[in-house]
Structure 1
Amino acid sequence: MSEALTGPTPDLRRVGIAPDHWYPVATSRQVRRGRTFAAVFAGQRIALYRTGSGTVHALEDRCAHRQVPLSMGVVEGEILRCCYHAWAYRGDGRISQIPYLPKGCERPPRGVRSYPVREEYGLVFVFPGDPALAGAAPFPHLPEHHAATHRTMTFSRTVRCHYSFMHENLLDMNHQFLHRSVLGMIRPELLGYDSGPRHVEARYRFVPAGGRKDRGAGLLSAEGIGGRNSADVITIRTEYPYQTLRDVPESTGLPAFSLWAAYVPEDAEQRVNHAYGLLMIAKPALPGALHLAWPLIRRFTERVFAQDRTAVEAEQRAWDEQGGDRNHEVFPLILDVREVLRRNGVPIEPAAPAARPEHAR
């Protein structure tokens, strides 16, 4: 679908991500037993805490009393106490105790908002939208994460750009020139793609074209640990709001690795996102080989991500400086994914003006 044929369209960088989905907001390791963690989704501050029994809860990060962040609080067994006046909250957000509440006083507040929570794949997911929709909302299905045949590498990084730049970057493999110092020279061939109301999927064939590449790139690609010389077929899919990538070397026909990613806005204007990625790598037949190769693969992936982050953050800076999107996109695949993100997104609510101090009124 061409933007030129559909007339004026909303600036995608002003479209917010839809809240009625499951989004990771922390890794499981960050939410330790008996501790709190300050998370955020598109300007909504969320207090995560893990109870003594190991359950993770998510509450609006403010005490109903004096608005002090509950993420500064203290976990006692199954409840969370505000650090200021020790008001106690249950996992459903209801206040269970006000230590000094006098008889006959004005009825205290009931509590704060709670969020549906799911902990899976080493990540803590919350449902920031309508909680009544959480049960029916699709949840990521990643069987390879738990399979004995695979090992998972987890990524968690803040990127200073609108989440849509992330979808475009991964889906458009024509940018491999950016990675020439890591991947060598690669000629990506688009084998085909399809799109629908909620998805865009593209298939590329990566043909090596010379140049020096990072050793980790060879271990993760068709070359493998055995040093095969073969092309890779890469399938990338944006299935709103997530993104996946799958590599299948032509020499084996078996998946070498798959990536699942989510880009979670942090600020209310959604100019910053937190990228969560799960890279699930198939173990080779040689026992222990992947363990030995792990540091090299990690270094390679970090180098690629750093280059991508430099590019997408530069795109965001250009948008900020120009006051809008002046991109001249010519690739139909990217025009389609932009339409998917627009169609399924929501308006970004303008930030509420700050209240004036009493002495200034």
Structure 2
Amino acid sequence: MNQISPVQADTASRATQPDLRRVDCDPDFWYPVAWSADLRKDKTLAVSYAGTPIVLVRPEEGSVFALYDRCPHRQVPLSKGTVNGQTVRCCYHGWAFGRSGRCIDVPYLGKGKLPNGVRTFPVREAGGLIFVFPGNPEKADTVPFPKLAQTDNPRYKTKHFSPRVNCHYTFMHENLMDMNHQFLHRRQMGQIKARFLGQDRGENFIEARYSFMRCAGQQPLAERLIFGKHKDLQGREQPVEEVVTIRTEYPYQTLRITDKDGDLIMDLWTAYVPVDKEQRVTQSFGLLSILRPQTPLLIDLIWPALGWFTNRIFLEDKEIVELEQAAWNEVGHDRNVEIFPVVVGLRELLARCGIPHGTTRPDTAPATPATQPATA
């Protein structure tokens, strides 16, 4: 009996699977859309989820609220308006909307029946981020909120990053999950080889574990300061000193590094949020927590070097995933030949948990009723 090669198996799998780059993010999850520090009191901030315009509003008192960022009158962005107490007032004719989305005042209407309101989005703030729930709001209280690295643990210092990348979010998941691409980072990392240690899978997650072996070149300074100096073994195989665990637990992704004793050294949490309607532009939000060394203030001294190092690595990844997206744009469909079982499983997970492109839009939910009392 003829055996099926990995390439043949992948070709057969792709024939029965949807084009992964035409699978949209499921909106029924909590997605970060802004950093808390970017929204000041009595101000608005315009953000977007998959082409849906959203305005974040932070009143002088009370929590942040989020509305559909279009005044129903002339479709002018409410984010161009002004905040007054618990309302945002459109910059054009002064229509005012409360945190419930209801229109509570039209200055020239008097006490007549007020027009339609706008859709609201559930909001939460955590880890220095503002999250919205762009899907069915009735699910917001039952969908688990993600654990955000070690943001609440004083033993760790956390770095924020939020790069925008011109690619489908699935390319980002694949890039981080597949540690076999270290050849790409040889100028930053030296010559290292990923060793696959195993994987786990579930209905909504896939996890891969790796260790790394240095083949040639010097250990980068930032890596040495965080993990300690790795000895030159003069050609002998390097033992497992750290274990890197990468997990996509839909729709989020994490990377955790533990030492040989199992103690957590580094904890990365990231979300890839589609910006445009076609979901070809991704806004990443990441929290990178590093264990503070025993020497006081050492983490503050190495922080700039760590930022420079991680940024250089990311820029190389950014260029690659954008080249992948450009190739997809050119041919109009997914022609990737995937042979690494973990990434094959990851693609199946993303296809299963996502939704077909164009199936639903978060802004299609009805707004508040047309006839409303003048209350917030």
Q: Give the match's secondary structure for 1:25.
A: strand
Match of 2:252 in 1: 242
- Compute the displacement of 1:347 (Å): 1.5
- Compute the displacement of 1:148 (Å): 1.0
Match of 1:200 in 2: 206
Cα distance between partner residues in 2 of 1:339 and 1:299: 34
- Compute the displacement of 1:351 (Å): 11
Residue 25 (str. 1) matches residue 53 (str. 2): no
- Compute the displacement of 1:228 (Å): 4.9
User: Once the two structures are superposed, what CA deviation does each residue of 1:306-360 show, in whole Å capped at 9, x if it has no partner?
Assistant: 11101000100000011111111111110100000000101111899xxxxxxxx
Which AA in structure 1 matches 2:257?
Answer: D
1:13 to 21, 37, 43: 21
2:84 to 57, 76, 79: 76
Q: Give the match's secondary structure for 1:243.
A: strand
Cα distance change, pair 100–253 in 1 and its aligned pair in 2 (3 A): same
Match of 2:334 in 1: 325
Contact 2:70–2:77 (Cα < 8 Å) also in 1: yes
Count how many residue pairs are aligned between Structure 1 and Structure 2: 345
Cα distance change, pair 54–219 in 1 and its aligned pair in 2 (3 A): farther
- Compute the displacement of 1:79 (Å): 1.1
Cα distance between partner residues in 1 of 2:67 and 2:197: 46
User: Once the two structures are superposed, what CA deviation does each residue of 1:62-83 show, in whole Å capped at 9, x if it has no partner?
Assistant: 0011110001110112211111
Which AA in structure 2 matches 1:234?
Answer: V
Contact 1:181–1:212 (Cα < 8 Å) also in 2: no
Q: How does 1:116-131 map to 2 (within 5 A)?
A: 116-131=122-137
Cα distance between partner residues in 1 of 2:218 and 2:49: 40
Q: Give the match's secondary structure for 1:259.
A: strand
User: Once the two structures are superposed, what CA deviation does each residue of 1:136-179 show, in whole Å capped at 9, x if it has no partner?
Assistant: 00101236211110111011111000000000000000001111
Task: Report the RMSD for the aligned CA atoms in angstroms.
Answer: 1.8
User: Once the two structures are superposed, what CA deviation does each residue of 1:218-253 show, in whole Å capped at 9, x if it has no partner?
Assistant: 223x22xxx354732100000000000001122x53
2:96 to 88, 94, 106: 88
Residue 178 (str. 1) matches residue 184 (str. 2): yes
Contact 2:198–2:210 (Cα < 8 Å) also in 1: yes
Match of 1:261 in 2: 270
Structure 1 alignment gaps of length 5 or more? 353-361
Contact 1:80–1:88 (Cα < 8 Å) also in 2: yes
Residue 52 (str. 1) matches residue 84 (str. 2): no
Moved over 6 A (4+): none
Residue 299 (str. 1) matches residue 308 (str. 2): yes
Match of 1:162 in 2: 168
Match of 1:334 in 2: 343
- Compute the displacement of 1:4 (Å): 4.1
Cα distance change, pair 103–192 in 1 and its aligned pair in 2 (3 A): closer
Contact 2:219–2:230 (Cα < 8 Å) also in 1: no
- Higher mean alpha-carbon deviation, 142-151 vs 317-326, is at 142-151
Cα distance between partner residues in 2 of 1:154 and 1:54: 25
Q: Give the match's secondary structure for 1:209.
A: strand
Contact 2:159–2:289 (Cα < 8 Å) also in 1: yes
2:50 to 33, 42, 49: 42
Which AA in structure 2 matches 1:164?
Answer: T
Q: Give the match's secondary structure for 1:147.
A: coil
Structure 2 alignment gaps of length 5 or more? 1-5, 232-239, 362-376
2:299 to 290, 302, 305: 290
Match of 1:270 in 2: 279
Cα distance between partner residues in 1 of 2:302 and 2:35: 24
Identity, % of aligned positions: 49
Contact 1:207–1:231 (Cα < 8 Å) also in 2: no
Q: Give the match's secondary structure for 2:16.
A: coil
Contact 1:41–1:267 (Cα < 8 Å) also in 2: yes
Cα distance change, pair 69–291 in 1 and its aligned pair in 2 (3 A): same
Contact 1:268–1:351 (Cα < 8 Å) also in 2: no
Cα distance between partner residues in 2 of 1:158 and 1:47: 19
Residue 308 (str. 1) matches residue 317 (str. 2): yes
Q: How does 1:102-113 map to 2 (within 5 A)?
A: 102=110, 107-113=113-119
Output the TM-score relative to the length of structure 1: 0.92
Which AA in structure 1 matches 2:330?
Answer: E
Q: Give the match's secondary structure for 1:277.
A: strand
Cα distance between partner residues in 1 of 2:148 and 2:252: 12
Q: Give the match's secondary structure for 2:61.
A: coil
Cα distance between partner residues in 2 of 1:341 and 1:218: 35
